[in-house]
Each structure stands twice: as structure tokens, then as C-alpha cells.
Amino acid sequence: MKLILTQEVQGLGAAGDIVTVKDGYARNFLMPRGLGIAWTRGGEKQVTQIKRARKVREIRDTTHANEVKQAIEALAVTLAAKAGDAGRLFGSVTTADIADAVKAAGGPVVDKRKVSIPAHIKTVGKYSASIVVHEGVVAKLNFEVVAG
């Protein structure tokens, strides 16, 4: 079955790529999760829109990646989370929370899949995370979790 990918799928392709996969994989995994749509002639217009949007978000080269890295590392990011009296969080801080906090602090839009934290964050305090900006360029983000 021919599909148009709407998001990046590891080992398969990037958003806007036209791929051929087995019918069951397309029907049972990719399409229900919104990762791909069936290929049609009218879908070609969607492919150009997806590729245009991807080019806008894409890091052009390593010099641009280093600029984005410096912008991320210069940010002062604070995450407010619900916490108890002892500073223990109700839940934990996720990579999606960190990506949203970077954007809210005035930084660039970061994909939550590119953020990695060393361990589960379940208490108030100062932490660091790594963000893969481009191949070979990793930014270190220092942030603070406060009771909110």
C-alpha cells in the first residue's frame, strides 16, 4: 500500500515522503496513529504542503544548528508543576513538558522526541536535559522545576 507520511517515522521516512508498506502495517499502525494517509493523486498537493512546512522548521546546516544550540543554552527555563509539601511532584516532568517550556521561555520550537532526560523527574529542583538540534549538535538545557 502506498502512503504519504504526515510525520517522521523512524526507519521509514520523514514527513511528506511517499512510501510503500504492507497493508496491515498501514491499516493497523500508521493510519490510526495519524502517521500516514493513503496515497491519491489529490494527495500530491498535501505532499508539497507538508514538505514546505518541513523546510521552514528544518535546521539548514551546522552553523545554523550551533546558533540554535546557543539560543537554547542561554535560556532560563522554569517549569511549574503541582507538588506536595515535601517537594514531591504529583506525576512527573516529561519531555513534552520540557519542549513546551523551552517554547514558552522564548526559545525555538523543539520536538519532544529530540529531548532526553537522564532519569524521571519527580521532585522540585534543578535539572539538565540534552536536546539533539542537528546530527552531531547537542544542546545542554538547564532548567528548574518549581512548585506551582
Number of domains in the chain: 2
Looking at the structure, tell me whether residues 85 and 130 fall in a common domain.
Answer: yes
Is the pLDDT at 112 greater than 80? The verdict is yes
The pLDDT assigned to 45 comes to: 76
Q: What is the DSSP string of 45-99?
A: HHHHHHHHHHHHHS--SHHHHHHHHHHHHT--EEEEE-B-TTSEEEEEE-HHHHH
Looking at the structure, tell me whether residues 66 and 99 fall in a common domain.
Answer: yes
Looking at the structure, tell me whether residues 66 and 102 fall in a common domain.
Answer: yes
More confident residue, 145 or 52: 145
- The pTM (predicted TM-score) of the whole model is 0.65
Looking at the structure, tell me whether residues 103 and 43 fall in a common domain.
Answer: no
Is the pLDDT at 130 greater than 90? The verdict is yes
Q: Residue 54 has which C-alpha cell?
A: 518541513
Cα(104)–Cα(116) distance, integer angstroms: 18
Looking at the structure, tell me whether residues 42 and 15 fall in a common domain.
Answer: yes
Cα(96)–Cα(11) distance, integer angstroms: 22
Is the pLDDT at 58 greater than 80? The verdict is no
How far is CA 122 from its chain centroid? 21
- Which residue segment(s) compose the domain that 29 sits in? 2-57
> Which of 143, 131, 3, 19 has its CA nearest to residue 70?
131
More confident residue, 96 or 16: 96
Longest dimension (CA), the chain: 59
Is the pLDDT at 107 greater than 90? The verdict is no
- Region of 137 on the Ramachandran plot (φ > 0 left; ψ -120 to 50 alpha; else beta): beta
Percentage of the chain with pLDDT > 70? Answer: 95
Read off the CATH number of the domain in which 9 is found.
3.40.5.10
